[in-house]
Amino acid sequence: MNSLGGGLGPVKNLKVDPLANTPVDPLANAVSTQIADFKPVGTTLLTGALSNGGALKDLPLVGTLTRVLPG
| 4/8 Cα distance (integer angstroms) | 6
Query: Domain ranges in the chain?
Result: 2-68
Count of C-beta atoms within a 10 Å radius of residue 70: 12
Provide the pLDDT for residue 71: 61
Q: What is the pLDDT of residue 14?
A: 77
40 vs 6 pLDDT, higher one: 40
pLDDT of amino acid 16: 76
- Residue 49 is predicted with a pLDDT of 76
Say what the pTM is: 0.50
In this predicted model, what pLDDT tens digit does every residue of 15-62 receive, in sequence order?
Answer: 777 888 888 888 778 788 999 999 988 888 777 877 888 887 777 777
